[in-house]
Amino acid sequence: MQAFSLQDGRLCAEAVPLDRIAEQVGTPAYVYSRAAIEAAWRGFDEALGEHPHLVCYAVKANSNLAVLQLLARLGSGFDIVSGGELERVLAAGGEPQKIVFSGVGKTAGEMRRALEVGIRCFNVESAAELTRLNDVAGELGVTAPVSLRVNPDVDAGTHPYISTGLRENKFGIDIREAEAVYRQAAEAPHLSVDGVDFHIGSQLTDLSPIADALARVLELVDRLAEQGITIRHLDVGGGLGIRYQDETPPAPEDYARVLLDGLADRDLTLFMEPGRAVVGNAGVLITRVEYLKDGPEQRFAIVDAAMNDLLRPALYDAWQAITPVRPRPDGEALAWDIVGPVCETGDFLGKQRTLALAEGDLLAVHSAGAYGFVMASNYNTRPRPPEVLVDGDQFHVVRAREPLAELWRGEQLLD
């Protein structure tokens, strides 16, 4: 949960210097720490102690196969939102019985595949989706396990683009309509009601909206029990924040305490879907300064990473720490806008960063393990960067830089 630190040019807890990685794979490149990922996942798993639970890592945060494989080996479950993520989890050795499938727009094809492999549960987000899932399960002659994602209408107090638990958001089933939809589910011949689910937003730094949402959803569970609809598991989604700058996100133990206190003596298995908090501070994006440019109003450090590699600053105006891998203690510290080569004014990684810089310097953009590579694109026909996993004193290139010719594979010239 701590902001990631570099010690002597290395990811903390790992022995490989980042400049050695840069020499071998070039820049920009994502670098992840195995030790940090595993420690963060265990933090959630251990916080829930003996209470029956399943930590379903949210694949969307970082879906690199080697990252998924590490988590699968720890016994992690997975929260997926597409057929593509399902295939990734299976390819990485994830157990189908530990997969939950979220998302508002599941296609019939995605449902079919998930039923064929036998996932643990579908987090259903509308009455229409429930009808489709029942039909698809019926065609296959199987029963689909379901949990309804309810929208508890609480303000998560996060960026509006990543807040999901308000009535006006597209996510989940309005909590006031949930009982009726549960009755529909209970009567459907090819569905079995197993759980209830909520997820109110991402980068949450305060536990009180989670406690509010939990209380509302537990009232629903109790009302359903009175009607003979038994809920066996409660999925509390993900969303726990990390420290990017000066945030003080709750520790997994405090989070777990709120959840377990809320449950009281109810017999509910807990599922959780953390993404960012598992991988966010376990990764950096390394990039090299190409040019220093003195504009009339502003100094620019033009680096070789851009918004296509790391979108969060451009999309959310997100702040991520940027530090030199080898600081220049005797250099003059000046305020720089750290910008990329893409042809957009919004292409920046950081603004007004006071640093002593020279051309050729290697920089690390911190907290880049979550929503980094997964949101990268080929805009400006730039190859997506390689991904490297550091494991003690070794490192592995777990995804190579895309060769340029791959960027137009499948395209056709006209006759």
Ligand X SMILES: N[C@@H](CCCC[NH3+])C(=O)O
End-to-end CA distance of the chain: 56
Q: What residues from 43 to 72 belong to the interface with ligand PLP (CB under 6 A)? A: 58, 61
Among 147, 202, 287, 320, binds ligand X (CB under 6 A): 202
Nearer to ligand X, 33 or 202 (CB): 202
Instruction: Identify whether 121 is a catalytic site residue.
Output: no
Number of residues in contact with ligand PLP under rule CB under 6 A? 16
Least distance CB 114 / ligand PLP (angstroms): 15
Is residue 287 at the binding interface for ligand X, with CB under 6 A as the rule?
Answer: no
Least distance CB 25 / ligand PLP (angstroms): 26
Neighbours of 404 (CB within 10 A): 10
Among 101, 122, 244, 371, binds ligand X (CB under 6 A): 371
In whole angstroms, what is the distance from residue 191 CA to residue 230 CA?
14
Among 10, 120, 233, 312, binds ligand X (CB under 6 A): 312
Angle among Cα 172, 175, 180 to the nearest 5 degrees reads 100
Contacts 24+ apart (CB under 8 A), 179-182: 179/220, 179/223, 179/224, 179/227, 181/127, 181/130, 181/148, 182/148, 182/224, 182/229
Nearer to ligand PLP, 239 or 262 (CB): 239
Among 17, 237, 324, 383, binds ligand PLP (CB under 6 A): 237
Is residue 163 at the binding interface for ligand PLP, with CB under 6 A as the rule?
Answer: no
What region, left, alpha or beta, does residue 11 occupy, with left being phi > 0 and alpha being psi -120 to 50 degrees?
A: beta
Radius of gyration of the chain (CA): 23
Tell me if 194 sits within 8 A of 233, measured CB to CB. yes
Number of residues in contact with ligand X under rule CB under 6 A? 6
**What are the Cα distances from residue 224, in Å, to 52, 149, 167, 174, 221?**
21, 15, 21, 15, 5
Question: Which residue among the candidates 12, 56, 121, 343 is catalytic per the annotation?
Answer: 343
Token readout for 113 is 């595949």
Q: What residues from 359 to 398 belong to the interface with ligand PLP (CB under 6 A)? A: none
Residue keyed to tokens 């080929």: 378
In whole angstroms, what is the distance from residue 369 CA to residue 280 CA?
4
Least distance CB 105 / ligand X (angstroms): 13
Q: What does 274 bind: ligand PLP, ligand X, none (CB cut-off 5 to 8 Å by kind)?
A: ligand PLP
Nearer to ligand PLP, 278 or 314 (CB): 278
Among 17, 94, 209, 239, binds ligand PLP (CB under 6 A): 239
Residues whose CB is less than 8 angstroms from the CB of residue 225 and which lie 6 or more positions away in sequence, other chains included: 231
Is residue 79 at the binding interface for ligand PLP, with CB under 6 A as the rule?
Answer: yes
Neighbours of 169 (CB within 10 A): 16
Least distance CB 88 / ligand X (angstroms): 16
Is residue 238 at the binding interface for ligand PLP, with CB under 6 A as the rule?
Answer: yes
In whole angstroms, what is the distance from residue 118 CA to residue 115 CA?
5
371 is in an annotated binding site: yes
Among 39, 162, 207, 398, binds ligand X (CB under 6 A): 162
Largest CA distance in the chain: 73
Is residue 152 at the binding interface for ligand PLP, with CB under 6 A as the rule?
Answer: no
In whole angstroms, what is the distance from residue 276 CA to residue 124 CA?
22
Per-residue binding letters, 245-284, with ligand PLP (x by CB under 6 A): ----------------------------xxxxx-------
182 is in an annotated binding site: no
Query: For 9-103, where are the E strands, in sequence order?
Result: 10-11, 29-33, 53-58, 77-80, 99-101
Nearer to ligand X, 37 or 362 (CB): 37
In whole angstroms, what is the distance from residue 157 CA to residue 203 CA?
9
372 is in an annotated binding site: no
Nearer to ligand PLP, 33 or 147 (CB): 147
Q: Which residues bind ligand X (CB under 6 A)?
A: 60, 162, 202-203, 312, 371
Which residues are identified as catalytic?
A: 343
Q: Annotated binding site for substrate: which residue ranges?
A: 276, 312, 316, 344, 371
